[in-house]
Amino acid sequence: MRLSRYFLPILKETPKEAEIVSHRLMLRAGMIRQQSAGIYSWLPLGHRVLTRIGQIVREEQNRAGALELLMPTIQSADLWRESGRYDDYGKEMLRIEDRHEREMLYGPTNEEMITEIFRSYVRSYRDLPLNLYHIQWKFRDEVRPRFGVMRGREFLMKDAYSFDVDQEAARHAYNKMFVAYLRTFARLGLKAIPMRADSGPIGGDMSHEFIILAATGESQVFCDKALLEMPIPGEDTDFDADLTPVVKSWTSHYAATEEKHDEAAFAALPEDARVAARGIEVGHIFYFGTKYSEPMGAKVATPDGAERPVHMGSYGVGVSRLAAGLIEASHDEQGIIWPDSVAPFDVGLISLKVGDAKVDAACADLYEKLGKAGRDVLYDDTDGRPGAKFATMDLIGLPWQLIVGPKGLNDGLVELKRRATGERETLTPEAALNKLT
């Protein structure tokens, strides 16, 4: 992509309303624009990151055997009356009326709707286990949306829902998602720690939040340092095998959010094993049995010929929150430092002298060859000052900067900079291509 033809509205000034670094940097880097409280447009650079985060979430859901569908954002109030949550949900629910004065709502989550879909088609235990998920916008009328997209009102969530014949089978579904989450956040370059949690309005009695440690996290969390060094289940994980050992290895160390914190148990840990920090909740998984299937009549014929309500769980990932969470976990004074896996472009190609025939030719050649090798390149072909170009590339946080100038070219050399370490290397264009492809 040529920067001269892109839409990257970089802000020079730090917006005063932004209180945390990710909010400041997402505005300055031209990733998002607030349209109203807690509601944002995702501008081209931000949209690329959001899409790449969603793709990694999707791949790991699919690997765990979940099936993707897409449910609407607008739901009927009648559905929520069946589960009894229509009134319980309170002011966070955006209630709307259509032209026929039918009561509708903008979905904050989809347990009722997915249960309605399930009960309409599935009648036998033979059709189980089943896990259905989507990546869809949600609306929660937060009383105080803040920190940019970290706590928005309209936000993107992956929400999966599992259906099983009994609690034991549902535990396996829960374990599959637990492992899928460990893999997902690791691929995003994050250390997300599963912590026992409250299940809140979703309900149920087994729940874990996945928390990344960050100074601006909204919650106070406590955990055993060992959890920061645990091995992540590999991509060859057999999701049909018993995953209890893996889950047990992660849940046998102390880890709790403030609500569940046991000071005595924590104090019993060796001093150097205790981690107390602020945390950002990037995922939350729940087992809630028949909480929805019972009142909504989602039942199956069981092997003994009876008819029983299915056991369910739901599993959420904050896809849009992750864009902010990643920045909180990976930035420096100059700006964002994207992990390679979600960077909006792989390489920032910087021309130091637009209009210089040799520089233009070298950039065009590198741009073409990187593109052919499948690398996403943002080519700064604008005629700004070098200093401003470097500052922009540092701000938007692309993993590599490939710098082409007339002096270097006279010696047949270009410069390659690794954003994360600041490491610079002067090398031939061919050597640079070899490093980047």
Ligand X SMILES: Nc1ncnc2c1ncn2[C@@H]1O[C@H](COS(=O)(=O)NC(=O)[C@@H](N)CS)[C@@H](O)[C@H]1O
CB 174 within 8 A of CB 242: no
Q: Contact region for ligand X (CB under 6 A) — 279-287, 304-312, 336-344, 413-421?
A: 279-287
Cβ pair 201, 284 in contact under 8 A: no
Q: In the stretch 97-116, what mask flags binding to ligand X with x, by CB under 6 A?
A: ------------x-------
Give me the residues paired with residue 211 across strands. 193, 281
- Closer to ligand X at the Cβ: 320 or 401? 320
Which range in 170-178, 247-255, 317-325, 341-349 contacts ligand X by CB under 6 A? 317-325
Q: Binding to ligand X by residue 313, rule CB under 6 A?
A: no
Q: Which of 26, 202, 378, 393: binder of ligand X (CB under 6 A)?
A: 202
The single residue among 76, 314, 351, 392 that binds ligand X, judged by CB under 6 A, is 314
- Closer to ligand X by CB, 192 or 403: give it: 192
What contacts 229, CB < 8 A, 6 or more positions away? none
Distances (CA, A) of 161 to 79, 165, 238, 375: 17, 14, 20, 35
The yes or no reply on residue 328 touching ligand X (CB under 6 A) is no
Among 60, 141, 159, 328, binds ligand X (CB under 6 A): 159
* Smallest separation (angstroms) from ligand X to the CB of 416: 36
Beta bridge partners of 423: none
Q: Which stretch binds ligand X (CB under 6 A): 6-14, 277-285, 357-365, 390-398?
A: 277-285
CA distance 270 to 224: 9
CB–CB of 210/192 below 8 Å?
A: yes
User: By beta-carbon distance, which residue lies closest to ligand X?
Assistant: 318
Burial of 46 (0-12, 13-18, 19+ CB in 10 A): buried
CB 158 within 8 A of CB 135: yes
Quick note: the x/- pattern for ligand X over 396-425, rule CB under 6 A, is ------------------------------
Q: What are 210's strand-pairing partners?
A: 194, 283
| Interface with ligand X (CB under 6 A) | 109, 140, 142, 151-152, 155, 157, 159, 202, 281-284, 314-316, 318, 320-321
